[in-house]
Homo-oligomer: A and B are copies of this chain.
């Protein structure tokens, strides 16, 4: 096994493959990157308990003198590739040693037992659909933040993708807030899967480095995302995702339109003093419609002090007055996922969930559960 390649080409591939290395694993072999050298290209593979990634490297700078395969300690291969310049030559000098040469440096790296590396099938079957890469990135950005970070209800640690009646519902909730995006999707059989939030985090970062359309293959236990030269496969979460549609209010007697940035900065300012511990109304702020239809946002912290800010809505406010309390963090995170410069907060009542929509973000809604105030 002998090949040479430009350092930056190899590094680009390793930066993608790195996302599939485990943080820690009971299976040491998974700390390695599988490198397969064929006549005209390389295949690099990494995997952990959640995801597996494979990328094909074919570049004008790639010169293959002898084919072969090996598993190389991932961390060291990446560290070395980062620190060298120009061309790099890799040679399997003995069965267990990889020689890496570049300019005047030479490494002899002990490699791992290729027999130990698990067989990974990248399954190109099941339901087949295709996304524009920007659409897929939007879906992840707009839903993944609202998944649960706690394992108490494992099914909530993922995003639910459910296709029904030619509509794709992408839904996440941690049971205190919810995000839902709906897209039209025709000529695909119905499916209903939940993808772990960590897998979507890694996929999001990898999508950053591609402009291609993304093909998706959905099997019962796995989903494969296929880009031009990258395969990304994730396990799915077991279990039934709750029916969230019924908790979204449909009638909103009060709607208020805000400049998104203004509302965001105001919420950040007011929540500076709000209690940080879960025991004492974690990050809770209050929103109140005043008589002059300006909006007051406030927080109270008996130990530290109070904050209060007035915001002028950007549209007319009609409907009943209202005073509602909720976590500022939920509102902040929801607002940040919008691209619209203007957002509308739709209220169904003081103890009912409220819904945020954006002018430009069609078919997307965010919902936040209020907390009761004295």
Contact = CB atoms under 8 A, between A and B. Distances in A.
A298 B129 CA distance: 52
A306 B76 CA distance: 12
A252 interface: no
Contacts of A305: 76, 97, 107-110
Interface centre among A97, A108, A269 (most CB of B within 10 A): A269
9 contacts: A80-B272, A83-B268, A104-B311, A105-B269, A105-B307, A105-B308, A107-B305, A107-B308, A110-B303
B307 A106 contact: yes
A270 interface: yes
A266 B105 contact: yes
A95 to B, nearest CB: 14
A273 interface: yes
A310 interface: yes
A80 B309 CA distance: 13
B107 A306 contact: yes
Nearest to A265: B83
A251 interface: no
B269 A106 contact: no
A183 interface: no
Contacts of A84: 269
Given A272-B83, A273-B109, A76 B304 contact: yes
Copies in the complex: 2
A76 B303 contact: no
A110 B307 CA distance: 11
B304 A106 contact: no
Nearest to A102: B269
A79 interface: yes
Interface string A303-344: 111111111000000000000000000000000000000000
Interface residues of A, number: 30
Contacts of A97: 305
Nearest to A99: B305
A249 interface: no
Nearest to A270: B105
Contact of A307 (B107, B273, B308, B311): B107
Interface string A268-308: 11101100000000000000000000000000000111111
A73 interface: yes
Nearest to A79: B272
A2 to B, nearest CB: 18
Contacts of A265: 83
Contacts of A311: 104
A104 B304 contact: no
Nearest to A303: B110
Given A105-B266, A107-B305, A108-B306, 19 more contacts: A76-B272, A76-B273, A76-B304, A76-B305, A79-B272, A80-B272, A97-B305, A104-B310, A104-B311, A105-B269, A105-B307, A105-B309, A106-B307, A106-B308, A107-B273, A108-B307, A109-B305, A110-B304, A110-B305
A148 to B, nearest CB: 28
A22 to B, nearest CB: 18
Give 8 nearest A-B pairs by CB, closest first: A105-B309, A109-B305, A104-B310, A108-B306, A83-B269, A107-B307, A110-B305, A108-B305
A106 B107 CA distance: 62
A182 to B, nearest CB: 35
A336 to B, nearest CB: 16
A274 to B, nearest CB: 11
Interface string A234-247: 00000000000000
